Amino acid sequence: MEIHTCLASHVAAFNFTRDDLLRLKQRFPRITLGIHQNHADLLEAAGTAECILTWEFEKAWYPGFPNLKTILTPAAGSDWVAADPAGRVRLIHGTFHGPLLAESLLGAILFMNRRMPGMIRNFERREWDRNIQKDCRLLANQTVVIIGLGRIGGECARLLKSFGATVIGIKRDAQRLPMPLPDVDVRPVAELETTLPEADHVVVILPGGADTDRILNESRLGMCRQGAFVYNFGRGNAVASEDLAKVSDHIGGAFLDVVDQEPLAPDSPLWSLDNLMITPHSSCIYREYRAAFVDQVAAHLGRWLDRPTQSGR
Protein backbone atom coordinates (compact mmCIF):
# COMPACT_ATOMS: atom_id res chain seq x y z
CA MET A 1 0.00 0.00 0.00
CA GLU A 2 1.31 3.45 -0.93
CA ILE A 3 0.60 5.98 1.82
CA HIS A 4 1.29 9.71 1.58
CA THR A 5 1.12 12.18 4.44
CA CYS A 6 0.73 15.94 4.71
CA LEU A 7 0.40 16.68 8.41
CA ALA A 8 2.41 19.84 9.03
CA SER A 9 0.84 22.41 11.35
CA HIS A 10 1.85 25.67 13.01
CA VAL A 11 0.45 24.24 16.26
CA ALA A 12 3.27 22.22 17.78
CA ALA A 13 1.04 19.51 19.24
CA PHE A 14 -0.53 18.96 15.80
CA ASN A 15 2.68 19.13 13.75
CA PHE A 16 3.52 15.53 12.92
CA THR A 17 7.24 14.94 12.69
CA ARG A 18 9.03 12.47 10.47
CA ASP A 19 9.71 10.30 13.53
CA ASP A 20 5.99 10.26 14.39
CA LEU A 21 5.11 8.95 10.94
CA LEU A 22 8.01 6.53 10.59
CA ARG A 23 6.41 4.52 13.40
CA LEU A 24 3.98 3.32 10.74
CA LYS A 25 6.82 2.14 8.50
CA GLN A 26 8.43 0.36 11.44
CA ARG A 27 5.21 -1.48 12.24
CA PHE A 28 4.32 -2.18 8.60
CA PRO A 29 7.55 -2.56 6.58
CA ARG A 30 5.61 -3.48 3.42
CA ILE A 31 4.02 -0.05 3.00
CA THR A 32 5.49 2.72 0.86
CA LEU A 33 5.44 5.93 2.91
CA GLY A 34 5.73 9.41 1.45
CA ILE A 35 6.06 12.31 3.91
CA HIS A 36 5.22 15.77 2.53
CA GLN A 37 5.41 19.18 4.17
CA ASN A 38 2.99 21.01 1.86
CA HIS A 39 0.07 20.42 -0.46
CA ALA A 40 2.07 21.05 -3.62
CA ASP A 41 4.33 18.10 -2.83
CA LEU A 42 1.34 15.95 -1.90
CA LEU A 43 -0.33 16.68 -5.24
CA GLU A 44 2.75 15.43 -7.05
CA ALA A 45 2.00 11.97 -5.62
CA ALA A 46 -1.57 12.03 -6.95
CA GLY A 47 -1.03 9.34 -9.56
CA THR A 48 0.04 6.59 -7.16
CA ALA A 49 -1.30 7.42 -3.70
CA GLU A 50 -3.68 4.80 -2.30
CA CYS A 51 -4.06 6.23 1.20
CA ILE A 52 -3.53 9.78 2.46
CA LEU A 53 -3.07 11.13 5.98
CA THR A 54 -3.75 14.84 5.95
CA TRP A 55 -5.20 17.85 7.73
CA GLU A 56 -6.70 19.27 4.51
CA PHE A 57 -8.00 17.94 1.22
CA GLU A 58 -10.04 19.91 -1.29
CA LYS A 59 -13.01 18.55 -3.22
CA ALA A 60 -11.40 19.50 -6.54
CA TRP A 61 -8.39 17.27 -5.88
CA TYR A 62 -10.21 13.93 -5.92
CA PRO A 63 -10.32 13.38 -9.71
CA GLY A 64 -6.54 13.71 -9.84
CA PHE A 65 -6.05 10.79 -7.43
CA PRO A 66 -7.25 7.77 -9.48
CA ASN A 67 -5.91 5.12 -7.08
CA LEU A 68 -6.91 6.80 -3.84
CA LYS A 69 -9.08 4.61 -1.63
CA THR A 70 -8.91 6.20 1.84
CA ILE A 71 -8.17 9.50 3.55
CA LEU A 72 -7.52 9.55 7.28
CA THR A 73 -7.48 12.89 9.07
CA PRO A 74 -6.74 13.60 12.73
CA ALA A 75 -9.56 16.15 12.84
CA ALA A 76 -12.79 15.14 14.53
CA GLY A 77 -14.89 17.44 12.35
CA SER A 78 -15.34 17.85 8.61
CA ASP A 79 -14.11 21.45 8.45
CA TRP A 80 -10.90 20.88 6.47
CA VAL A 81 -11.24 17.65 4.49
CA ALA A 82 -14.01 17.61 1.91
CA ALA A 83 -15.87 14.39 1.21
CA ASP A 84 -15.39 12.80 -2.20
CA PRO A 85 -18.32 13.98 -4.38
CA ALA A 86 -18.17 10.69 -6.28
CA GLY A 87 -18.32 8.61 -3.11
CA ARG A 88 -15.32 6.58 -4.25
CA VAL A 89 -12.91 7.50 -1.44
CA ARG A 90 -13.78 6.77 2.17
CA LEU A 91 -12.99 9.48 4.70
CA ILE A 92 -12.07 8.50 8.25
CA HIS A 93 -11.93 11.17 10.96
CA GLY A 94 -10.02 11.01 14.21
CA THR A 95 -11.90 9.10 16.90
CA PHE A 96 -9.39 9.51 19.73
CA HIS A 97 -10.35 13.01 20.95
CA GLY A 98 -12.87 11.99 23.59
CA PRO A 99 -10.53 11.43 26.57
CA LEU A 100 -8.50 14.53 25.67
CA LEU A 101 -11.44 16.89 25.44
CA ALA A 102 -13.22 15.32 28.41
CA GLU A 103 -10.27 16.12 30.67
CA SER A 104 -10.17 19.70 29.36
CA LEU A 105 -13.89 20.08 29.96
CA LEU A 106 -13.57 18.73 33.48
CA GLY A 107 -10.84 21.29 34.15
CA ALA A 108 -13.08 24.05 32.79
CA ILE A 109 -16.05 23.02 34.91
CA LEU A 110 -13.96 22.82 38.07
CA PHE A 111 -12.37 26.17 37.19
CA MET A 112 -15.71 27.93 36.84
CA ASN A 113 -17.38 26.04 39.67
CA ARG A 114 -14.67 27.17 42.10
CA ARG A 115 -15.01 30.80 40.90
CA MET A 116 -11.46 30.93 39.64
CA PRO A 117 -11.94 34.04 37.45
CA GLY A 118 -12.75 35.94 40.66
CA MET A 119 -9.95 34.25 42.56
CA ILE A 120 -7.43 35.24 39.88
CA ARG A 121 -8.49 38.87 40.20
CA ASN A 122 -8.23 38.50 43.98
CA PHE A 123 -4.66 37.23 43.55
CA GLU A 124 -3.72 40.00 41.11
CA ARG A 125 -4.97 42.63 43.59
CA ARG A 126 -3.06 40.87 46.40
CA GLU A 127 -6.25 40.67 48.42
CA TRP A 128 -7.45 38.02 50.88
CA ASP A 129 -11.18 37.84 50.14
CA ARG A 130 -12.43 34.49 51.44
CA ASN A 131 -16.03 35.15 50.42
CA ILE A 132 -15.62 34.86 46.65
CA GLN A 133 -16.24 31.10 46.82
CA LYS A 134 -19.10 31.23 49.33
CA ASP A 135 -21.66 29.92 46.81
CA CYS A 136 -19.55 27.02 45.51
CA ARG A 137 -21.20 23.60 45.58
CA LEU A 138 -19.81 20.13 45.07
CA LEU A 139 -20.05 18.91 41.50
CA ALA A 140 -21.70 15.77 42.87
CA ASN A 141 -24.72 17.89 43.80
CA GLN A 142 -25.08 19.54 40.39
CA THR A 143 -26.55 18.83 36.98
CA VAL A 144 -24.62 19.03 33.73
CA VAL A 145 -26.48 19.21 30.40
CA ILE A 146 -24.39 18.14 27.41
CA ILE A 147 -25.74 19.33 24.05
CA GLY A 148 -24.24 16.92 21.54
CA LEU A 149 -23.86 13.41 22.92
CA GLY A 150 -21.69 11.87 20.23
CA ARG A 151 -18.47 9.98 20.77
CA ILE A 152 -16.74 12.97 22.43
CA GLY A 153 -19.81 14.04 24.41
CA GLY A 154 -20.19 10.46 25.63
CA GLU A 155 -16.64 10.44 27.00
CA CYS A 156 -17.36 13.74 28.76
CA ALA A 157 -20.53 12.28 30.27
CA ARG A 158 -18.70 9.23 31.60
CA LEU A 159 -15.99 11.34 33.25
CA LEU A 160 -18.50 13.71 34.85
CA LYS A 161 -20.57 10.79 36.12
CA SER A 162 -17.47 9.49 37.90
CA PHE A 163 -17.55 12.70 39.97
CA GLY A 164 -21.14 12.04 40.93
CA ALA A 165 -22.73 14.74 38.76
CA THR A 166 -26.18 14.28 37.29
CA VAL A 167 -25.73 14.26 33.51
CA ILE A 168 -28.43 14.93 30.92
CA GLY A 169 -27.55 14.48 27.27
CA ILE A 170 -29.26 16.20 24.35
CA LYS A 171 -28.98 14.24 21.10
CA ARG A 172 -30.64 14.41 17.71
CA ASP A 173 -31.35 10.68 17.82
CA ALA A 174 -31.76 9.91 21.51
CA GLN A 175 -32.07 6.19 20.77
CA ARG A 176 -28.61 5.83 19.21
CA LEU A 177 -25.76 6.26 21.66
CA PRO A 178 -22.04 6.12 20.78
CA MET A 179 -21.33 3.91 23.80
CA PRO A 180 -23.13 2.50 26.84
CA LEU A 181 -23.95 5.43 29.15
CA PRO A 182 -25.66 4.09 32.25
CA ASP A 183 -27.39 6.65 34.45
CA VAL A 184 -27.26 9.34 31.75
CA ASP A 185 -30.66 10.80 30.92
CA VAL A 186 -30.69 11.16 27.11
CA ARG A 187 -33.29 13.46 25.57
CA PRO A 188 -34.09 14.62 22.01
CA VAL A 189 -33.32 18.13 20.75
CA ALA A 190 -37.05 18.92 20.96
CA GLU A 191 -36.69 18.89 24.76
CA LEU A 192 -33.72 21.26 24.87
CA GLU A 193 -35.68 24.32 26.02
CA THR A 194 -37.45 22.46 28.82
CA THR A 195 -34.14 20.92 29.92
CA LEU A 196 -32.03 24.08 30.12
CA PRO A 197 -33.59 25.35 33.38
CA GLU A 198 -32.45 22.13 35.10
CA ALA A 199 -28.76 22.73 34.39
CA ASP A 200 -26.06 24.13 36.63
CA HIS A 201 -23.64 23.67 33.73
CA VAL A 202 -24.57 23.73 30.03
CA VAL A 203 -21.97 22.16 27.73
CA VAL A 204 -22.08 22.49 23.95
CA ILE A 205 -20.12 19.88 21.94
CA LEU A 206 -21.55 20.17 18.44
CA PRO A 207 -20.11 20.09 14.91
CA GLY A 208 -20.27 23.14 12.68
CA GLY A 209 -22.90 23.64 10.03
CA ALA A 210 -26.24 25.32 9.43
CA ASP A 211 -28.05 22.83 11.68
CA THR A 212 -26.11 23.99 14.73
CA ASP A 213 -25.93 27.74 14.06
CA ARG A 214 -26.78 29.66 17.26
CA ILE A 215 -28.42 26.62 18.78
CA LEU A 216 -27.76 28.30 22.12
CA ASN A 217 -29.05 31.72 21.13
CA GLU A 218 -29.94 34.68 23.35
CA SER A 219 -33.43 33.35 24.01
CA ARG A 220 -32.22 29.91 25.06
CA LEU A 221 -29.37 31.33 27.11
CA GLY A 222 -32.02 33.32 28.94
CA MET A 223 -33.85 30.07 29.71
CA CYS A 224 -30.84 28.79 31.66
CA ARG A 225 -31.01 28.87 35.41
CA GLN A 226 -29.82 32.14 36.95
CA GLY A 227 -26.11 31.66 37.65
CA ALA A 228 -25.64 28.61 35.41
CA PHE A 229 -22.32 28.22 33.63
CA VAL A 230 -22.02 27.80 29.85
CA TYR A 231 -19.24 26.00 27.97
CA ASN A 232 -18.54 25.66 24.24
CA PHE A 233 -16.09 22.92 23.24
CA GLY A 234 -17.48 22.05 19.80
CA ARG A 235 -17.60 24.69 17.10
CA GLY A 236 -18.00 28.44 17.59
CA ASN A 237 -21.08 28.84 15.43
CA ALA A 238 -23.27 27.22 18.11
CA VAL A 239 -22.97 30.20 20.50
CA ALA A 240 -22.76 33.72 19.06
CA SER A 241 -20.53 36.20 20.87
CA GLU A 242 -23.18 38.92 20.82
CA ASP A 243 -25.79 36.61 22.36
CA LEU A 244 -23.43 35.62 25.14
CA ALA A 245 -22.51 39.23 25.88
CA LYS A 246 -26.19 40.15 26.22
CA VAL A 247 -26.85 37.52 28.90
CA SER A 248 -23.57 37.84 30.80
CA ASP A 249 -25.40 39.23 33.84
CA HIS A 250 -27.86 36.33 33.85
CA ILE A 251 -25.49 33.39 33.64
CA GLY A 252 -22.82 32.65 36.21
CA GLY A 253 -20.14 32.74 33.54
CA ALA A 254 -18.87 31.06 30.40
CA PHE A 255 -15.83 29.08 29.37
CA LEU A 256 -15.21 29.10 25.62
CA ASP A 257 -12.63 26.98 23.88
CA VAL A 258 -14.16 27.93 20.52
CA VAL A 259 -15.75 31.19 19.35
CA ASP A 260 -17.74 32.25 16.31
CA GLN A 261 -14.79 34.13 14.79
CA GLU A 262 -11.34 32.61 15.34
CA PRO A 263 -9.06 34.07 16.38
CA LEU A 264 -11.30 36.28 18.49
CA ALA A 265 -10.79 39.93 17.58
CA PRO A 266 -8.94 42.02 20.19
CA ASP A 267 -11.88 44.45 20.35
CA SER A 268 -14.50 41.74 21.02
CA PRO A 269 -16.61 42.62 24.07
CA LEU A 270 -16.10 39.08 25.34
CA TRP A 271 -12.55 39.90 26.45
CA SER A 272 -13.84 42.44 28.96
CA LEU A 273 -16.38 40.18 30.71
CA ASP A 274 -15.28 39.38 34.25
CA ASN A 275 -17.09 36.04 34.36
CA LEU A 276 -15.69 34.59 31.16
CA MET A 277 -12.65 32.48 30.26
CA ILE A 278 -11.43 31.94 26.70
CA THR A 279 -8.89 29.39 25.50
CA PRO A 280 -7.61 29.36 21.88
CA HIS A 281 -9.32 26.21 20.54
CA SER A 282 -6.85 24.20 22.56
CA SER A 283 -8.96 21.57 24.32
CA CYS A 284 -7.17 18.69 22.55
CA ILE A 285 -3.65 20.07 22.74
CA TYR A 286 -1.83 17.31 24.62
CA ARG A 287 1.53 15.65 24.05
CA GLU A 288 -0.33 12.40 23.40
CA TYR A 289 -2.26 13.78 20.40
CA ARG A 290 0.10 12.72 17.61
CA ALA A 291 0.71 9.27 19.04
CA ALA A 292 -3.03 8.72 19.44
CA PHE A 293 -3.63 9.42 15.75
CA VAL A 294 -0.74 7.23 14.62
CA ASP A 295 -2.14 4.43 16.78
CA GLN A 296 -5.55 4.88 15.15
CA VAL A 297 -4.01 4.70 11.67
CA ALA A 298 -2.01 1.62 12.68
CA ALA A 299 -5.17 -0.10 13.89
CA HIS A 300 -6.78 0.44 10.48
CA LEU A 301 -3.67 -0.69 8.62
CA GLY A 302 -3.50 -3.81 10.75
CA ARG A 303 -6.96 -4.80 9.55
CA TRP A 304 -6.41 -3.82 5.94
CA LEU A 305 -3.05 -5.47 5.54
CA ASP A 306 -3.95 -8.62 7.49
CA ARG A 307 -1.09 -8.02 9.83
CA PRO A 308 0.39 -11.23 11.35
CA THR A 309 -0.19 -11.87 15.03
CA GLN A 310 2.61 -11.63 17.59
CA SER A 311 2.95 -15.41 17.53
CA GLY A 312 4.24 -15.12 13.96
CA ARG A 313 1.32 -16.94 12.36
Kindly report the backbone phi and psi dihedral angles of residue 175, in degrees, each rounded to the nearest multiple of 5, phi listed first: -90, -15
Average pLDDT over residues 144-156: 97
Give residues with Cβ within 8 angstroms of 187, minimum separation 6.
168, 169, 170, 171, 174, 195
Question: Would you call 27 a catalytic residue per the annotation?
Answer: no
Of the residues 4, 36, 281, 290, which is catalytic?
Answer: 281
* Percent of residues, the chain, with pLDDT higher than 90: 94
Query: What is residue 77's predicted lDDT score, i.e. its pLDDT?
Result: 86
- 180-215: pLDDT as tens digits: 998 999 999 999 999 999 999 999 999 999 999 999
All structural domains of the chain, each given as residue ranges with its CATH number in brackets, are 2-94+287-304 (3.40.50.720), 97-278 (3.40.50.720)
> Which one from 44, 191, 262, 288 is the annotated catalytic residue?
262
Residue of 235, 287, 290, 313 with catalytic role: 235
Residues 251 and 201: their CA atoms lie apart, in Å, by 10
Q: Is 93 a catalytic residue?
A: no
Predicted confidence (pLDDT) per residue in 78-103, tens digit: 889 999 999 999 999 999 999 999 99
This model's pTM is above 0.85: yes
307 classed as catalytic: no
